[in-house]
Amino acid sequence: MVHTITFLPHNREIQVNDGEKLIRAAMDAGVHINASCGGEGVCGKCRVIIEAGTVEGGLSEQVSPEDRDKGVRLACRSTVTGDVTVRVPVESTIDASVLRQSYVPRRTARIQQKDLNDLKEAGLFLPPVEKIYIELPKPDNQDHLPDVTRLVSHLKLHHDEHRMTVSLPVIRKIPDVLREAEFRVTATMARPIIETGKTEIINVQPGDTTDYNYGIAMDIGTTTIYGQLIDLKTGEVLSDHGEFNGQISYGEDVISRIVFAEKGDGLDRLQRVVANTINTIINKIIKRAKVDPDNISAITLAGNTTMTQLFLKVNPRYIRRAPYVPASTLYPPIRAKDLGLDVEDHVTALVYPAVSSYVGGDIVAGVMGSGLYLDEPLTLFMDIGTNAEIVIGNRDWLACAACSAGPAFEGGGIKFGMRAAKGAIEDFSLDPVTWEPMLMTIGNVRPKGICGSGLIIMTAVMFELGLINNLGKFNRDLATDRLREDEGVWEYVLAWAEETQIDRDITLTEIDIENLIRAKGAIYSGCMTLLAEVGMGMQDIERIILAGGFGSYVDLEKAMTIGLLPEIDPEKVTFIGNSSLMGAKMSSLTNRIRRDVGEVTRSMTSFELSETPSYMDNYIAALFLPHTDLDQFPRLKARLANRSSKVN
Amino acid sequence: MVHTITFLPHNREIQVNDGEKLIRAAMDAGVHINASCGGEGVCGKCRVIIEAGTVEGGLSEQVSPEDRDKGVRLACRSTVTGDVTVRVPVESTIDASVLRQSYVPRRTARIQQKDLNDLKEAGLFLPPVEKIYIELPKPDNQDHLPDVTRLVSHLKLHHDEHRMTVSLPVIRKIPDVLREAEFRVTATMARPIIETGKTEIINVQPGDTTDYNYGIAMDIGTTTIYGQLIDLKTGEVLSDHGEFNGQISYGEDVISRIVFAEKGDGLDRLQRVVANTINTIINKIIKRAKVDPDNISAITLAGNTTMTQLFLKVNPRYIRRAPYVPASTLYPPIRAKDLGLDVEDHVTALVYPAVSSYVGGDIVAGVMGSGLYLDEPLTLFMDIGTNAEIVIGNRDWLACAACSAGPAFEGGGIKFGMRAAKGAIEDFSLDPVTWEPMLMTIGNVRPKGICGSGLIIMTAVMFELGLINNLGKFNRDLATDRLREDEGVWEYVLAWAEETQIDRDITLTEIDIENLIRAKGAIYSGCMTLLAEVGMGMQDIERIILAGGFGSYVDLEKAMTIGLLPEIDPEKVTFIGNSSLMGAKMSSLTNRIRRDVGEVTRSMTSFELSETPSYMDNYIAALFLPHTDLDQFPRLKARLANRSSKVN
């Protein structure tokens, strides 16, 4: 059920779902309400007056009985249960311009998840594994056909199958399975990747099991590994599970893992450990979906280049040594059991190819799974993290690069930075007169720190309202005690110690902002450099696809305001989530991707940014908010001009 | 050096090599000299007189000084060192016809061993594995090609190689090998079997190893396993070795092995045991030829259907149960290490396909390796043993069958039968007047028993001279104490107890002859049945290829006399030895065989003789010497008519 909320004196309306918190509705409506406690209801600052309709809750000891009767409620404790009109008390000193402040609701990227039907509609469905039920004539004195020949001949004659091979483990099973099942069996046919290839009969099961045909998709992340169990008939994800990559005990990042792998039996150990994590996930998703492991026909895995080489026990030694070359980009299909995976003999593991040492199979999986490589619009594909990978192109060409953004987007190098977990400030609004903040935290609890998406929003808001300038420096003339200098570093107090979970003031420092600017500058200049190398510019980008955990939370408008993303209609930005897992899933569903991936990988031009001369110039030009060239951000430019004209 | 020996009064000349024993020369010349001791020189019966020239040795205490001066020597102890004229004393009672006895020297089959040059001349040479030495550019800041891509691209550009795959174990090696060898390496290219297939890079080695490229051929026999190490560049066999199949401890024949395999972990154990024997052989031939195991590129194995299934750990349970179907005939290439073979990771095992449960890969190997499937003449291919396999056909069609001949050819079921080992009577002549024998044993020692080839010769000679009739029964009217009845069974004394190693009279019994007739009848009628099924007869056979140990010893004329082989010019009979090993070797040398073998196996019509109605009639007709239809043996018929006219 949807309710309409009207905020006064702004006279701004917003539709929200039943049960939404009033303060969230205000934030989404672009209505500022002072609130430093993240929505936990302790600061008592978010007082509003219900003028029509009712809300549920919203009371505390900070609201006196008289105020209650006047309709006063705490916005952070009020739950919307019907249409309501809410007045936000604005301090008398406030300029009316606040009320006219442009209304920019928080916009995150649309979710783009392709499924089996999309593939079928697009003509991209080539089943990788099919099951066929057959009833064979039994051998007798007049018919001595060997068992395998009997099976293969029948498939040729009655099912128009040709060019089949049968692997030894299946040959070993066939004689007993045929007789056990009175010669009524189901053959699992793994289709060739190239058209001229052979269909491999990978399993023969007693009776009719054609309804049970499953695949596993696995994302081997440096930190976390995710797996999905997929029904190959429907494309449905039957179960999924994630676990920390067991290799974490041997190093948090890829470099430390590589170093470990170089010593003694380090490589063997890391391979075993990651296989163990994968096996834990496989066992959980199989158990949860209650499927027979014998009906699992394939497993597709994707990961960055180092994770892929470690999993395949290919020493990643040269990935971290100039000139940084991986062993291989393409890997042949491999018997999953040979990799230590806890699946039946017949299961083949397909591992996504990489493009280079730093643009790995996870990115290729995203390019393939999103269908970007088949589409017309010029697309910018980004996976933003400590190492950000960028792909630009369309069905005609593809270029890619990786750039080291640093850990700012994950809260690293930020004084009160933290991962996107409970207590992280994830949304922010600023009163442009009093410079009081409005904070929202994950889980609506008192703040503990700042996560990456919150950092972007704060910086964007502060920049647009003039609290910081285009160099990321605070306007030191402003009259607020929230701005202060601490040990020579200027900072803004987001929450006072008593409003936090950590009993210290939580601040945003100029160093934090500088780190963010460096991070976004590295990425933006990476894109510009890639585009320049192919004779194009940011204005040519027609679509953005965001991958990775970060992409799902980022406020698109704010990311454009700080110059992380080029200015583009937010409608044209989509989010594919875990690209690695998504690509692995799509590969499980159609051979078309496996057929195309080799060619796509080969044709993807990989740029080593550090060796591309224009990169450093582009980087320095990007170390501003949003950029030295404001004309690249015409909408922002217009808003800034508008604000400036009002202020003056 | 060759010497001419003239035998008197026969006035028959023969050329023999320097160092030959005189008695062997006489046997080969068709000159009968009484001799029961097998050539050991103890019976003193083989007295001859040297009339011109000299021989070395030939003296013993049985030759008095006076006799010595007259030129008397023992033929079995005399070594030919120059031209010599020898008079054989003939007893006065002997009819002059003995001297006119038709001169039929012992004729064994010509050896047919194809080699690399034959393949090249016939246009059948398609190298299965080639090595290419390459010098790669090193990666640098401008060239980040991944290692595998670098290798593959170079092969494409500079060596006209296309459609390559690289397996994971090789990918694992490449980074270190490239750097260790300064990017100068040798790639081992395994060529596709079908033209549309891919070349697999199975190994990459530092430096230039193109001169070292080896293959292994292996015959997995029920009793014995033989291996050869082959230089793939020259086709030369560098070393070879045979060992008893370790499975013998679990049963002597295929049926007992199958029974063992059905119980508990019997199959696993038999697989391990045969792999162990093969490993012993591999290690010996590698060591003997002093080659680096890393330069071994392939292994090809052939064996009968049961041996093949046991080696591949495919339960052979249904081979011994009606309707006797094997699991498969064709097997895919298999990583040798997965089969427990002691070779490098990159070595692929190719296993010869079978046609049916009783016509196995050993026979197919013979058909392929001999080139029979490519030739014009209608050929009869036989591997004679307890189970005899027969293939008839040419490049247009092929039919095959197996028949159970019983163990007579290996000395089984024969009162004094033995394998072809030292002391076995292997050659025989008979004085048609005195009915005294002339025996030659393997190793020229006193006789211990009768081997298969000796049995055939005895039976043929006795039949042709009339000691036995066409039913294999002795002419009981003959005046010789060598013919006697013992416990109701008639027998001929080949050697008296004191002349033997076993201190018992060695005899040939009517039961022995009956067993031989059954054995040869089974085979001959098998051939007739096969031919009749395709509308042909024995007279259409243009060529015979004999395989197996037995074929190398058999006296062709005698085998035709008893009706084991059809009458054909002995020049048209060739012997290929161990067909299994030979075919495996040829497959190591050219892909043409591997390319053709699937089609050949499929097109080979397999007849189950026991279920072919005409077989029993043909069998009964063949239970005579040589056959009820003597017209099938025109040359023998003429000789018998000639003899009969003289006798009368």
Q: Do B330 and A175 touch (CB under 8 A)?
A: no
Q: Chain A contacts of B329, Cβ < 8 Å?
A: 146, 148-149
DSSP string, A474-517: B-TT---TTEEEETTEEEEEEE-GGGSSSSS-EEEEHHHHHHHH
Q: Give CA–CA dist B472/B463, Å, rounded.
A: 7
Which residue from B141, B175, B608 is facing A315, i.e. has the nearest CB?
Answer: B175
What's A102's DSSP letter?
A: -
Q: Would you tell me the crossing angle of helices B254-262 and B266-289 to the nearest 10 degrees?
A: 120
In this predicted structure, the answer to whether residue A275 has a pLDDT above a threshold of 90 is yes
List strand residue ranges (DSSP E) for B553-593, in order.
573-577
Q: Give CA–CA dist B113/A537, Å, rounded.
A: 72
Q: Would you tell me the crossing angle of helices B614-621 and B510-533 to the nearest 10 degrees?
A: 140
Neighbours of B68 (CB within 10 A): 12
In this predicted structure, the answer to whether residue B540 has a pLDDT above a threshold of 60 is yes
Q: Chain A contacts of B318, Cβ < 8 Å?
A: 147, 175, 179
The conformational region for residue B58 under phi > 0 = left, psi -120 to 50 = alpha, else beta, is left
**Distance (Å) from the alpha carbon of A370 to chain B's nearest alpha carbon:** 25
What percent of chain B clears pLDDT 70, i.e. is strictly above it?
A: 97
Q: What is the pLDDT of residues A43-101, one digit of tens each?
A: 778 889 999 999 998 888 888 899 889 899 999 889 999 999 999 887 644 555 555 55
Helix (H) or strand (E) holding A543: strand A543-547
Q: Chain A contacts of B314, Cβ < 8 Å?
A: 168, 171-172, 175
Range with the poorest average pLDDT among A190-199, B226-235, B273-282 = A190-199
Q: Give CA–CA dist A338/B334, Å, rounded.
A: 14
Model pLDDT, residue B96: 53
Q: What is the pLDDT of residues A335-346, one digit of tens each?
A: 999 999 999 989
Determine the average pLDDT of the residues in B321-331.
Answer: 91
3-state secondary structure B50-61: EEECCEEECCCC
- Give the chain A residue whose CA is nearest to the CA of B612: A142
Helix (H) or strand (E) holding B27: helix B22-29
Q: How high is the mean pLDDT of chain A?
A: 92
Q: How high is the mean pLDDT of chain B?
A: 91
Look up tokens 């049970």; give the residue. A212
**How far is CA B44 from its chain centroid?**
36
What percent of chain A clears pLDDT 90, i.e. is strictly above it?
A: 74
Model pLDDT, residue A146: 94
Token pair belonging to A493: 């107090």
The sign of the dihedral angle between the CA atoms of B9, B15, B19, B20 is negative
Give chain A's radius of gyration (CA, Å). 29
Token pair belonging to B283: 């290690």
In this predicted structure, the answer to whether residue A506 has a pLDDT above a threshold of 50 is yes
In single-letter form, the type of residue at position A258 comes to: I
Contact, A593 vs A568, CB < 8 A? no
Q: Would you tell me the crossing angle of helices A510-533 and A614-621 to the nearest 10 degrees?
A: 140
In single-letter form, the type of residue at position A106 comes to: R
Model pLDDT, residue A462: 96
The conformational region for residue B432 under phi > 0 = left, psi -120 to 50 = alpha, else beta, is alpha
**Distance (Å) from the alpha carbon of B606 to chain A's nearest alpha carbon:** 9
3-state helix, strand, coil in chain B (%, to 5): 35, 25, 40
DSSP string, B378-443: -EEEEE-SSEEEEEEE-SS-EEEEEEE--GGGGTTTSTTB--S-TTEEEEEEE-TTT--EEEEETT
Look up tokens 């596709």; give the residue. B192
N-to-C CA span, chain B: 45
Residue B416 or A613, more confident: B416
Q: Would you tell me the crossing angle of helices B634-647 and B452-465 to the nearest 10 degrees?
A: 50
Q: Give CA–CA dist A535/A499, Å, rounded.
A: 52
Q: What is the pLDDT of residues B90-137, one digit of tens each?
A: 764 455 555 555 556 677 888 888 888 888 998 889 999 999 999 999
Model pLDDT, residue A10: 83
Model pLDDT, residue B142: 85
Which residue from B143, B171, B356 is facing A328, i.e. has the nearest CB?
Answer: B171
Q: How many helices (H) and strands (E) does chain A have?
A: 18, 30
In this predicted structure, the answer to whether residue A38 has a pLDDT above a threshold of 90 is no
Model pLDDT, residue A76: 87
- Give the chain A residue whose CA is nearest to the CA of B319: A146
Contact, A436 vs A591, CB < 8 A? no
Range with the poorest average pLDDT among A194-198, B485-489, B635-639 = A194-198
Q: Give CA–CA dist A562/A462, Å, rounded.
A: 10
Neighbours of B259 (CB within 10 A): 15
Q: Do A168 and B332 touch (CB under 8 A)?
A: yes
Q: Chain A contacts of B606, Cβ < 8 Å?
A: 144
Q: Give CA–CA dist B477/B625, Å, rounded.
A: 20
Q: Do A313 and B172 touch (CB under 8 A)?
A: yes
Model pLDDT, residue A93: 47
Interface mutation vs chain A, best among B156, B325, B331, most A CBs within 10 Å: B325
DSSP string, A237-255: EEEEEEEE-GGGGG-SSHH
**Distance (Å) from the alpha carbon of B39 to chain A's nearest alpha carbon:** 51
In this predicted structure, the answer to whether residue B602 has a pLDDT above a threshold of 70 is yes
* A144, A153, A208, A477 from A158: Cα distances, Å: 19, 8, 16, 85
Find all residues with CB under 8 Å of B356, minimum gap 6, and list them: A144, A146, B305, B324, B325, B326, B329, B400, B402, B606, B608
Determine the average pLDDT of the residues in B342-360.
Answer: 94
3-state helix, strand, coil in chain A (%, to 5): 35, 25, 40
Check if the interface score ipTM surpasses 0.95.
no
The sign of the dihedral angle between the CA atoms of A153, A159, A160, A165 is negative
Q: What is the pLDDT of residues A520-571, one digit of tens each?
A: 999 999 999 999 998 999 999 999 999 987 777 889 999 999 999 999 999 9
* A396, A435, A475, A476, A508 from A483: Cα distances, Å: 51, 9, 9, 7, 10
Q: Give CA–CA dist B357/A356, Å, rounded.
A: 52
Q: Chain A contacts of B176, Cβ < 8 Å?
A: 315, 317
- Tell which residue, B152, B190, B176, has the closest CA to residue A601: B152
Q: Do A146 and B322 touch (CB under 8 A)?
A: no
Model pLDDT, residue B92: 46
Backbone torsions φ then ψ of A155, nearest 5 degrees: -65, -35
Model pLDDT, residue B93: 46
The sign of the dihedral angle between the CA atoms of B398, B402, B405, B407 is positive
In this predicted structure, the answer to whether residue A285 has a pLDDT above a threshold of 80 is yes
Q: What is the pLDDT of residues B301-322, one digit of tens each?
A: 999 999 999 999 999 999 999 8
Helix (H) or strand (E) holding B203: strand B199-206
Find all residues with CB under 8 Å of A458, minimum gap 6, and list them: A425, A428, A450, A494, A508
Token pair belonging to B162: 């296309």
Model pLDDT, residue A92: 47
Cβ neighbourhood burial of B21 (10 Å; 0-12, 13-18, 19+)? buried
Model pLDDT, residue A97: 55
Q: Do A172 and B313 touch (CB under 8 A)?
A: yes
Range with the poorest average pLDDT among A176-180, A456-460, B66-70 = B66-70
Give me the total of CB pairs closer than 8 Å, taking one residue from chain A and one from chain B: 135
Cis peptide bond upstream of B437, omega within 30? no
The sign of the dihedral angle between the CA atoms of A167, A168, A169, A172 is positive
Determine the average pLDDT of the residues in B193-219.
Answer: 94
